[in-house]
Amino acid sequence: MSFHRFLYMAGWSAVILLAIAGFAAFNAGTPPLTPATTLGEVVWGEAAGAVSAQGWLAMAGTKAAAPEVAEPPTTIPVVTEPATTSLELNTGWLDSVALRGLIEDHFASSDVNTAVRLAWCLSRFDVDLVNPDSGLLGLFQIAPSDWLSATGAMGLSSEADPFDPALNVAVAAHIVYQGSGWGYWTCG
């Protein structure tokens, strides 16, 4: 009976290690966060996954190649009118897959994971969030004055809705690539 218990434990250990290595491989293309853009403490699973993946690669006798980092786009797509989208749930929160799709439309592929983590940290994907202390708005918690200047620079109406998920993501991308960069936000 103890041999079967050993096999059971060994099997689950292998599954857990493979899952950790899988998370590390998924995050391999994510650029490291600089201190100015840190979104909080390093998540245990990410650090453990990276170590585990290196161990698996070492046992396999291969070396990990450095991921290619794409240049950020020099321009971002201009949103000419508010998008009508059914991505919103009745609660006002976006599904993470739906938000990721919006972010992929406006951010460089190397910045998508950073933008998703930032939106989660700032608003927990709540499109209707208003910070009662600072007045920051929407998914990316953009200040009303910055919202007006960014939408004006993008050629949008001053009536553009900061709670429209597609517009909020587009303005956040404008801030990153044409304005203050990731340093506009602090989270964590």
The more confidently predicted of residues 103 and 81 is: 103
Spatial contact of 139 and 125, defined as CB atoms under 8 Å apart: yes
| Whole-structure pTM value | 0.53
- pLDDT tens column, 120-179: 999 999 999 999 999 999 999 999 999 999 999 999 988 899 999 999 999 999 999 998
- Which two structure tokens, joined as six digits, stand for 136? 């920051």
Average pLDDT rounded to a whole number, residues 79-88: 47
Among 62-66, 83-87, 101-105, 160-164, the least confident range = 83-87
For the chain, residues classed under CATH 1.10.530.10 are 96-184
Residue 111, SS3? helix
24 pLDDT higher than 50 = yes
Q: What's residue 41's pLDDT?
A: 46
Q: What's residue 86's pLDDT?
A: 43
H helices present in the chain, as ranges? 2-26, 44-60, 96-106, 112-123, 144-153, 165-178
Spatial contact of 122 and 187, defined as CB atoms under 8 Å apart: yes
Average pLDDT rounded to a whole number, residues 59-84: 53
For 96-184, CATH gives 1.10.530.10
Phi then psi dihedrals of residue 161, to 5 deg: -85, 115
- pLDDT tens column, 92-104: 567 778 889 999 9
